Amino acid sequence: MTSFTSSHTAVARRASDVEERVAELLARMNLDQKIGQMTQPERMNVTPDEVKRYHIGSVLSGGGSCPGDNRPADWVAMNDAYWAASMEEDEGHLAIPILYGVDAIHGNANVLGATVFPHNIGLGAAGDPELIERIGRVTAREVLATGVDWTFAPTLAVARDVRWGRTYESYSEDPGVVSRYAGRIVRGLQGGGGSGGVEGGSEGRLDAEIGHGAGLPALGPEGVVACAKHWVGDGGTRDGVDQGNAVMDEEELRRVHIAPYVSALEAGALTVMVSLSSWNGEKCHAHRYLIQDVLKGEMGFRGFVVSDWNGVDPLAEDYGEAVAMAVNAGIDMVMVPETWKAFIAALRERVERGDVPVERIDDAVGRILRVKFACGLFERGRPWGRRGANGSSFGSQAHREVAREAVRKSLVLLKNEGGVLPLDKGGRILVTGRGADDRGRLCGGFTVEWQGVVGNDRIEGGTSVWEGIKAVVPGAVLGGVGGVGEGQSVGGPQDMGEEEGDFDAAVVVIGERPYAEGLGDIREAGPVRPGTNQLPAGPGVLEPYGDTLQLAVLHPGDLRTIRVLRERGIPVVVVLVSGRPLVVDDELAASAAFVAAWLPGSEGGGVADVLFGDYDFEGRLPMGWPGGWGRVLFPRGFGLHLLGSEV
């Protein structure tokens, strides 16, 4: 079959092209240039001149680390400077474009004005894999608009304990759901390469063969490099402690936590990030069996493996030994935000001593180059000149409509007493609660700042829950927010001189403030890992969010607000904004209707779309919902339609 043969030849040629180009370039590189490619500093600690001088292969932004005024143009200018330095070939430096990485985990949410999607837990509730792929495509476009080519997403964690501060980064406690999403988000982000479901028939499947054999699938024209993370078992740690210890046998590790990576790799994921957690007491960052033997050997992963933030440091007292352990375990690129010069020196010394074989260095650098060639980085040209840079679609209405659809589909209706929902757009509706008019709270962590923001001023574009309701309900009134402190209950009718019973219903938006990683853990206070101060950037010790899942203990003002309104005879519709299920027995009992909204992102107007009946509820719980005394109040998969039947 000519067409098959020709496409096969074409694909095979591309694979051989890539492999030939890797071999040719590798042969010209000296040890300093190779080690430089394996080094990933954080932007605040490296200049474009140093990128050239040390042959740096990648630079990253940690959460909230943003250039200039944090507009797309500022990002493009920064990337252009790094790219130009990396490509300035001379007798001592080879032109190899840097790969810039960011945490665009729910849209390119670091950047002001970006479309911010619901965090993964809400997308898991939506149950729509096709939507996930569209979200990936929109996210990729908004990443490319900033001159960035790599996102540290998707998180493929299977969260098994909702006390974990990163529960919201997990699509579900069910590995089957995460697996169904993994391939779709990777294809959405990377623009279509990989196996199965790719238009173009055999080409797609052949690409997959390349992915697992001769090379890697190419990026689509609007694709960015994806990063499946965190390898592996990050969502399965004991008591949900972030960076903790996942205690389980290999059968469970494979069935629950490795399974989603199979579809991510089949879809052509080009990079994988290692977890800061441990498996049965062994750090993943030093786990040769998991990285070299399982991921690269058994699963045939041909891209490159990147460490997580300072993930090498805690492996051994002696830093050089820690570096050797990580690289020999199969880590190809090391995220060393501050101490990158020490890393370079330590790795060089360990290679010269023979502790790290040159073959391992060549394998690592070969993988990095393979990804750079496969994603067309050498051909994409400088960031300023690229088609997508400063793209007008950044934060566009069309992008926001995709996010608003995701919000609608993510909402889970847990209670609707007496059919109080849908609300009447012609009614007198009080909207109150700490999250009522707060786009920052809706977005949660990894939004503009690592730990997220509160208020509206730094979430440009989009709508709060209040703004969404106000736009369609002439009789809506925003309740006085009596301050966000716990000591003050939130405003109700009495704060506005309204007569009792003046409202047909009250929408009360309550829940968690933004957090990220260990700062979101529910556990006893103390370091993320007892006995170590090796923590992600931020305070010396990551104080947890609290030591209980009971919302009435964490934020007592929420329950007070609900009860005040209920005692005035106003039916209360609770909208819970949280990164996870919480124990809300009392809040549930005091409300007429109760909606789990998760972390919906910038398009809070999607909440009004469903509360007032333009759309029905479709969301189903991605995780079991805990009640008091450790019981499961609602099982995974539970969710009600407006008319009361289960979704």
Binding stretches for ligand GLC (CB under 6 A): 62-63, 103, 152, 229, 276, 308-309, 536
**Cα dihedral 387, 391, 393, 396 in deg (nearest 10):** 180
Where would I find the H helices in 191-339? 202-212, 250-252, 259-266, 288, 319-329
The C-alpha atoms of residue 274 and residue 233 are separated, in whole angstroms, by 10
Q: Which of 207, 363, 517, 618 is catalytic?
A: 517
Query: Three-class SS of residue 137?
Result: helix
| Residue 116 · residue 107 · CB < 8 Å | yes
* Least CB distance to ligand GLC at residue 234 (A): 8
Between 155 and 292, CB nearer to ligand GLC: 155
| Residue 302 · residue 268 · CB < 8 Å | no
Of the chain, the end-to-end C-alpha distance in Å amounts to 48
Active site residue 308: yes
| Residue 411 · residue 418 · CB < 8 Å | no
The C-alpha atoms of residue 601 and residue 607 are separated, in whole angstroms, by 11
Q: Which of 42, 169, 308, 521 is catalytic?
A: 308
The C-alpha atoms of residue 159 and residue 233 are separated, in whole angstroms, by 9
| Angle, helix 175-190 to helix 259-266, in steps of 10 degrees | 20
Between 535 and 575, CB nearer to ligand GLC: 535
* Least CB distance to ligand GLC at residue 615 (A): 33
Between 62 and 619, CB nearer to ligand GLC: 62
Query: Three-class SS of residue 133?
Result: helix
- Closest to 164 in 3D by CA, of 555, 530, 580, 551: 580
Q: What is the DSSP pairing of strand 625-626 with strand 150-151?
A: unpaired
Between 152 and 634, CB nearer to ligand GLC: 152
Between 274 and 346, CB nearer to ligand GLC: 274
Q: Tell which phi-psi region holds residue 310, choosing left (phi > 0), alpha (psi between -120 and 50) or beta.
A: left
Buried-state track 101-117, b at ≥16 Cβ within 10 A, e below 16: bbbbbbbbbbbbbbbbb
| Residue 37 · residue 93 · CB < 8 Å | no
* Least CB distance to ligand GLC at residue 63 (A): 5
Q: Supply the DSSP string of 619-643, one letter for each residue.
A: ---SS-EE-GGG-EEE-TT--B-TT
* Least CB distance to ligand GLC at residue 62 (A): 4
Between 316 and 537, CB nearer to ligand GLC: 537
Between 535 and 608, CB nearer to ligand GLC: 535
* Least CB distance to ligand GLC at residue 308 (A): 5
- Closest to 259 in 3D by CA, of 183, 175, 182: 175
Between 537 and 647, CB nearer to ligand GLC: 537
- Going 136 to 264 to 601 to 621, the CA torsion angle's sign is positive
* Least CB distance to ligand GLC at residue 106 (A): 12
Query: Three-class SS of residue 414?
Result: strand
Between 207 and 308, CB nearer to ligand GLC: 308
Residues in Cβ contact with 242 at an 8 Å cutoff, skipping those fewer than 6 apart: 164, 165, 166, 276, 277, 517, 518, 520, 521, 528, 542
Between 315 and 564, CB nearer to ligand GLC: 315
In sequence order, the β-bridge partners of residue 429 are 476, 505
* Least CB distance to ligand GLC at residue 369 (A): 22
Q: Supply the DSSP string of 484-496, one letter for each residue.
A: SSTTSPPP-GGGG
* Least CB distance to ligand GLC at residue 199 (A): 31
* Least CB distance to ligand GLC at residue 311 (A): 8
Q: Supply the DSSP string of 63-114, one letter for each residue.
A: TT---TTSSHHHHHHHHHHHHHHHT--BTTB-----EEEE--SSSSTTSTT-
Where would I find the H helices in 127-173? 129-144
Active site residue 363: no
**Residues recognised as catalytic:** 308, 517
